[in-house]
Amino acid sequence: MPHTNPFFSNTTGYTGEVNLFDDLVREQIKIYGVDLMFMPRRMLNLDDLLHESTKNAFELAMPIPSYIKTFDGYDNGLEALTKFGVRNADEITIQISRSEFTAHYGPFVKSYYNSIAGRPGTSELPELDGETAQRPKEGDLIYFPFDDGLFEIKYVQLDSPFFQLGKNYVFELQCEKFEYSGATMDTGYDQIDDTTEEIDYYSLQLDLIDGVDTFMFKERVWIYSVDTEIAPRLLEDEDVTSGVDVYIADDNSNPRPFSLYKDPGFTHKVDRVEGTVQYWNREDKILTLNDLSDNDPTQDNEDGIVDVDLRDMIINKFDEVLVIGQHTGAKWYSKKAGTRRKAFDDEHIIQKEFDEIKVVDDPRDINPFGFV
């Protein structure tokens, strides 16, 4: 049978040729490339059915030599003003050495995932849980230092260039500007971790009643659900300290667990919620928290009573809470919780205009933009 010349094959290269080609690729990346930061994603609260997570964490950042394929500028460099604010759709395509990633980064990523899960460092990763060390995966982040930007990997091209000498030598990463949505950023690099401060994302604002001591910026806090009638006694209890669950001798004053929505329609109970101090005004008794470990939408009163005052109709499970600073030990309790106003946030204006012209036929018409 006729076949191609085995001495000049372009698809079954000899080992020496393949290794030489791989070395040349790595050398070119080191000469013409830049050092970017690769950040594997850890999926929290993973939904096994939809294979989606309600919260992600980025706790590891590794410098990796990368070649910017889109060297003449961003692809699709559009900025659009939407009802959610200004959206940046910049895209870049970068290439990294496949053999270098497999040899130097894969084992480290594997050890990271296993250590977080409490497994032996050499255990096989459960890929269905979004953990893999074989290659960068969709959802991982790339930090681009030139514009202090984060890019999310949208697609990993595994066969470009196409099987030169019968093998592929690079991972081609197609990335898009990352849109922050409450993920935990704790890599140890300030230029990356300050993303939670720069992005005007959802923040929980608490109107406080009274408390002791003062919080620190970016301090981690614990939030407990309490009754404001007994809250003053919590402040006087010596056992209420960071690192200790809140349990008071009087059974009537025990903090009740939160019953929060993990997914629409499904609740789960948690003893406490964690957050990070974003803004603290002791004089006005206002505390703003972000990076919450759990969240919950506002809802109608469970008893179904509807008042003409919108605030009386809506309840927030973070209204009456005790907040304890893990570092300072500050303890404050709140009377009202809400969402910190954001740029281009016109929900309240629309609601006010609707209230002036509405004709209420159904109690739920009072709050058309709320959670049902």
More confident residue, 300 or 160: 160
CA 122 from centre of chain: 27
Is residue 179 pLDDT above 60, yes or no? yes
Where would I find the H helices in 34-193? 98-100, 106-117, 190-193
Pairwise pLDDT comparison (83 vs 266), residue with the higher score: 266
- Per-residue confidence band for 269, with pLDDT thresholds at 50, 70 and 90: confident
Section 13-28 average pLDDT: 86
Domain boundaries defined on the chain: 6-197, 202-366
Confidence grade of residue 239 (pLDDT, cut at 50, 70, 90): very low
pLDDT at 246: 39
Please give the residue that has the higher pLDDT: either 341 or 231.
Answer: 341
User: Looking at the predicted structure, is the pLDDT value of residue 369 above 70?
Assistant: no
pLDDT of residue 238 exceeding 60, the answer is no
Residue 202 in this model has a pLDDT that exceeds 70: yes
Quickly tell me which residue has 């960068």 as its tokens: 136
Q: Residue 66 pLDDT > 90, yes or no? A: yes
Query: Are the C-beta atoms of 77 and 100 separated by less than 8 Å?
Result: no
pLDDT band at 31 (very low <50, low <70, confident <90, very high): very high
CB 322 within 8 A of CB 222: no
Give me the pLDDT at residue 371, please: 45
What is the percentage of the chain residues whose pLDDT exceeds 90? 30
Of 112, 95, 119, which Cα lies nearest the Cα of 58? Answer: 112
Query: What does the alpha-carbon distance between residue 324 and residue 242 come to, in Å, rounded to a whole number?
Result: 7
Instruction: Point out the least confidently predicted range of 115-129, 160-174, 186-200, 334-348.
Output: 334-348
First to last CA, the chain: 71
Please give the structure tokens belonging to residue 172.
């081609």
| Nearest Cα residue to 278 out of 192, 205, 344 | 205
